């Protein structure tokens, strides 16, 4: 490793430990300058796969949020708003499946799936190993709160989300009805 570089360690599968810190899957561990070696350990029997990124440090302070990088908080807020409003600046995102996941203890327990702009929730599921713990309600509550925070609207095709909304009228003001257009779209994206 080049000691003049700063590095990011992205864990794609499993989890690894470096410099006394565990880095779980889908997390980025940061290593500043001054490191010419990197020691990784895998404390489990499961396979781990990582990507090491590195380069010359930026000469100025930067702000990061998700995939947005800016020179100020305002730059990142503007980028987030453009993303959430499906700005042409970003184009289509191939491979994004519109899923929010519940991850107690870092392990995926379930997910709720949606279409963006209006968040069309079309499926919610919890893995059998996590059944009976109330995680579906927690997952849907958080997903619906995220919709409100993003300024979008909810379309509850998923029976679980629809039933949840009958008991939580705090989301009534941002809920739209299921239309034939939405159902037609759903047929084009779901496996047959």
Q: Domain segments of the chain: what residues? A: 1-57, 60-93, 99-189
- Name the CATH topology of 99-189: Aminopeptidase (3.40.630)
Statement: residue 17 has pLDDT above 70: yes
- Summarised one tens digit per residue, pLDDT across range 114-150 is 555 678 888 888 888 888 888 888 889 988 988 888 8
pLDDT digits 0-9 by tens, 147-189: 888 888 899 999 999 999 999 999 999 999 998 878 887 777 6
Residue 175 per-residue DSSP state: B
pLDDT at 99 over 70: no
Q: Which helix (H) or strand (E) holds 42?
A: none
State the pLDDT at residue 122. Answer: 83
Average pLDDT, the chain: 80
Strand order in the sheet with 99-102: 99-102, 110-115, 118-126, 153-156
Task: Check residue 142 and give left, alpha or beta (phi > 0: left; psi -120 to 50: alpha).
Answer: alpha
What is the model's pLDDT at position 159? 92
């Amino acid at each position: 490793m080049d000691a003049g570089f700063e590095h990011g360690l992205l864990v794609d599968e499993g989890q690894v430990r470096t410099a006394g810190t565990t880095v779980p899957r889908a997390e980025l561990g940061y290593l500043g300058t001054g490191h010419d070696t990197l020691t990784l350990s895998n404390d489990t029997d499961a396979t781990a796969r990582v990507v090491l990124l590195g380069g010359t440090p930026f000469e100025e302070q930067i702000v990061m949020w998700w995939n947005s990088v800016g020179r100020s908080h305002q730059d990142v807020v503007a980028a987030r708003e453009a993303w959430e409003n499906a700005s042409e600046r970003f184009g289509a995102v191939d491979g994004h499946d519109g899923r929010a996941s519940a991850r107690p203890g870092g392990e995926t327990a379930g997910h709720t799936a949606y279409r963006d702009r209006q968040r069309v929730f079309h499926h919610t599921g919890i893995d059998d190993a996590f059944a009976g713990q109330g995680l579906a309600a927690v997952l849907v509550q958080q997903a619906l709160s995220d919709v409100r925070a993003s300024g979008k609207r909810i379309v509850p095709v998923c029976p679980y989300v629809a039933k949840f909304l009958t008991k939580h009228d705090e989301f009534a003001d941002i809920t739209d009805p299921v239309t034939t257009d939405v159902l037609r779209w759903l047929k084009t994206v779901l496996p047959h």
